[in-house]
Amino acid sequence: MVMLRIALAQVNVTVGDLAGNADIVVDWTRRAAARGARVVVFPEMALTGYPVEDLALRASFVDASIAVLREVAERLSVEGLGGIAVVAGYLDRRPGLAPRTGLPAGAPLDAAAVLHGGRVVITSAKHHLPNYGVFDEYRYFVPGNTLPVFRLPVPGTSDAVDIAVAICEDLWQDGGPVAVTRHAGASLLVVPNASPYERGKDDVRLDLVQRRAREAGAVLAYCNLVGGQDELVFDGDSILVSASGEPLARGPQFEEALIVADLELPPAVSDSGEAVDAGDGSLITIERVALPDIAAPPLAADVDPAAAAEPGPFWPRLDDLAEVYAALVLGTADYVRKNGFRTVLLALSGGIDSALVATIAADAIGPEQVHVILMPSKWSSDHSVTDAEDLVERQGLHARTIAIQAIVDSFRDGLGDFPLAGLPAENLQSRVRGVINMAVSNDEGHLVLTTGNKSELATGYSTLYGDSAGGFGPIKDVPKTVVWALSRWRNATAVAAGMTAPIPPNSIEKPPSAELAPGQLDTDSLPDYFVLDALLDDYVEKDMGSAELIAAGHDPALVARVIRLVDLAEYKRRQYPPGPKISQKNFGRDRRLPITSRWRETLPG
């Protein structure tokens, strides 16, 4: 057996920022080399960011990605890092494919390259293209059909190790590069990933990685992206397992990290390069390249070159609520930062939704960057103002108060003989607040955050162009019952650390109300949220039909009512801003329904 030190660089890159992402790859390779790593693995499409969507179809962007990859290889060599094998994802194209109907323009590839000795020594592309949930890759890519195996000399010995490269979805589907890795006899399979967070997915991923390591008969190094990108939050959580599936190291969740570990690997023996039945109806060609032995740079002073090949490091795991909260904070922080904003603005009502959003924002970018507006109307309760003021004081936010009644009245005057009552009158108040948010945002340059939760969004319990107006909705994928749980968890965490609870307990405990009409409560229009959320989970996440929902124990009248609300709210949801995705079926990219449709689950048939 020979010893190889590997580093998984789970970094936070930005879509389209080729220069910035290139700097990240060079910088983190330098850090990995200083800790003695001879191979460094970066995430899928680390140089372009992920997902690039229609940018993949633009020739100038593909050209730029290929160019920056070569520049990075040269820069690494110039910096004395040419002896480190760097595996990084980027965007490439397959030459020689004639345009035809259905072929993505320019035949783009979701590619990975091995950089060594100042050169791009071998490239490959993702074989299995996901086209479900948040993924649309048949639109954008043509599949790869090779398995690259690079032979890396072990310094000071005559041995070398064979290292294969697969990409993300290649692990999730049967057959393909994993199966061919066993055939190729590689002792290590490195896998760049861009796998977005969902609640509970970390357990699924570990099982998968363990199973695929056993199938490949190789140590498996799974390096995942970190960071928010529009609605997606990549959680890192990189994994290293032995060929028998035993966990060897695991990175942190929701933060950048360099996971450095020593591996004991069998030396390279095989030399076959051939087309192999990939077990999925396709042929995959094994492409081999032997890397020259290039000296690595000196280690950092505090690194022990003779570290034992013991398992680790293992970062501590977050529990479920901590995980969700971290996803919301990272998703919000990155949306603000990557879109060039420095501050946010939101309407504070005294209720729990805006209190939690303000807290997430303060945790994401600092309370001094969070601006709030209290906008009481004549239906606002006393506690709506006092609870909001309490929150401002606990967290040190920038607050201002703008009373809306005179503005609402001026609309009523202007409308003249169309006196508004009921829902139109309620919506008017919400829209006046939306206009004020946008006016202050336009004037001062804040990103407006919306405060709607998933239960409201699902049932249409919000005002289009009113409370739904804004650039980002931090809790748009969080059901109301989870809003409460997160708020309690956040307060308890603060108290346990000897700090002030950030959220006023009264905002958590009082019955929810939109306060758009006298004495209004959410329960006037909606069922109890614990009952509602359970039903929404079965209808929206699990796609149960009405018969199944009733069989699962939901009240038939409630099933009919809620399904009607959810089906009719489709248009409103399309106009909702993006927000961090934490579930299987966030409204938006991964749930798509016609606006115009007469299908109702409650109809007979």
Binding residue numbers for deamido-NAD(+) = 427, 456, 572
Touching a copy of itself, residues 485-504 (CB under 8 A): none
H or E segment and range at residue 6 = strand 2-10
Ordered alpha helix ranges (H), 242-287: none
Q: Out of 44, 137, 515, 601, which one is annotated catalytic?
A: 44
Contacts of 423 (CB under 8 A, 6+ apart): none
Within residues 251-310, the interface with a copy of itself by CB under 8 A covers none
Collect all residues with Cβ–Cβ distance below 8 Å to 93 and sequence separation of at least 6: 62, 66, 106, 107, 108, 109
- Using alpha carbons, list the distances in angstroms from residue 320 to 202, 203, 225, 582: 10, 11, 20, 11
> Contacting a copy of itself (CB under 8 A), which of 49, 148, 176, 192?
49
Does 469 help bind a copy of itself (rule: CB under 8 A)?
yes
- Closer by beta carbon to a copy of itself, 46 or else 407: 407
Out of 96, 99, 101, 496, the only residue in the binding site for a copy of itself (CB under 8 A) is 101
| Region 320-349 residues binding a copy of itself, contact defined as CB under 8 A | 334-335, 338-339
**Residue corresponding to tokens 């968890």:** 489
Contacting a copy of itself within 139-198 (CB under 8 A)? 139, 169, 172-174
Binding-residue pattern over the window 66 to 85 for a copy of itself, x denoting contact by CB under 8 A: -xx-----------------
Pick between residue 499 and residue 593 the one whose CB is nearest to a copy of itself. Answer: 593
- CA dist 73 and 390 (Å) reads 54
Are 37 and 260 in contact, with CB atoms under 8 Å apart? yes
Decide: 247 and 229 in contact? Cβ < 8 Å: no
Among 33, 76, 407, 562, binds a copy of itself (CB under 8 A): 407
Q: How, if at all, do strands 257-265 and 39-41 pair?
A: unpaired
Spatial CA neighbour of 253 closest among 190, 317, 307, 311:
317
What order do you get walking across the sheet with 370-374 strand by strand? 398-401, 370-374, 344-348, 447-448
Q: What is the x/- site pattern for a copy of itself, positions 194-233, by CB under 8 A?
A: ----------------------------------xxx---
Of 95-103, 190-198, 378-386, 503-511, the segment contacting a copy of itself by CB under 8 A is 95-103
User: Which residue from 28, 42, 61, 90 is in contact with a copy of itself, where contact means CB under 8 A?
Assistant: 61
**426 neighbors 432 (Cβ within 8 angstroms):** no
Number of residues that bind a copy of itself (CB under 8 A): 100
Task: Choose the catalytic residue: 53, 71, 79, 126.
Answer: 126
Structure tokens at 377: 């109307």
- Region from 154-162, 410-418, 485-493, 497-505 binding a copy of itself, contact rule CB under 8 A: 410-418
Is 44 considered catalytic here?
A: yes
**Smallest separation, CB 124 to a copy of itself (Å):** 20
Q: Which residues pair with 344 in a beta bridge?
A: 370, 447
Distance CA 432, CA 419 (A): 16
Q: Does 520 sit near a copy of itself (CB under 8 A)?
A: no
Measured between alpha carbons, how far is 395 from 360 in angstroms, rounded to an integer?
11
Interstrand relation of 160-165 and 146-153 (parallel, antiparallel or unpaired): antiparallel
| DSSP assignment string, 188-232 | EEEEEE--B--TTHHHHHHHHHHHHHHHHTSEEEEEE-EEEETTE
Applying CB under 8 A, does 415 fall inside the site for a copy of itself?
yes
If one asks whether residue 97 binds a copy of itself (CB under 8 A), the answer comes out as no
Would you count residue 406 as binding a copy of itself (CB under 8 A)? Answer: yes
To a copy of itself, the closest distance from the beta carbon of 63 in angstroms equals 8
Of 363, 515, 533, 601, the one binding a copy of itself (CB under 8 A) is 601
List the x/- string, 424-463, binding to a copy of itself by CB under 8 A. x--xx--xx-xxx-xxx-xxx-------------------
Is 126 part of the annotated catalytic residue set? Answer: yes
In the window 110-129, what residues touch a copy of itself (CB under 8 A)? 128
C-alpha dist (Å) from residue 402 to 374, 407, 437, 560: 6, 10, 10, 40
Residue of the chain from 23, 26, 30, 57 that contacts a copy of itself (CB under 8 A): 57
Kindly name the residue from 137, 168, 198, 338 that is annotated as catalytic: 168
- Is the CB of 1 or the CB of 439 nearer to a copy of itself? 439
Question: Between residue 543 and residue 572, which ones bind a copy of itself under the rule CB under 8 A?
Answer: 543, 545-548, 571
Q: Could you please report the per-residue DSSP string of 334-382? A: HHHHHTT---EEEEE-SSHHHHHHHHHHHHHH-GGGEEEEE---TT--H
99 lies in the binding site for a copy of itself (CB under 8 A)? no
Catalytic residues: 44, 126, 168
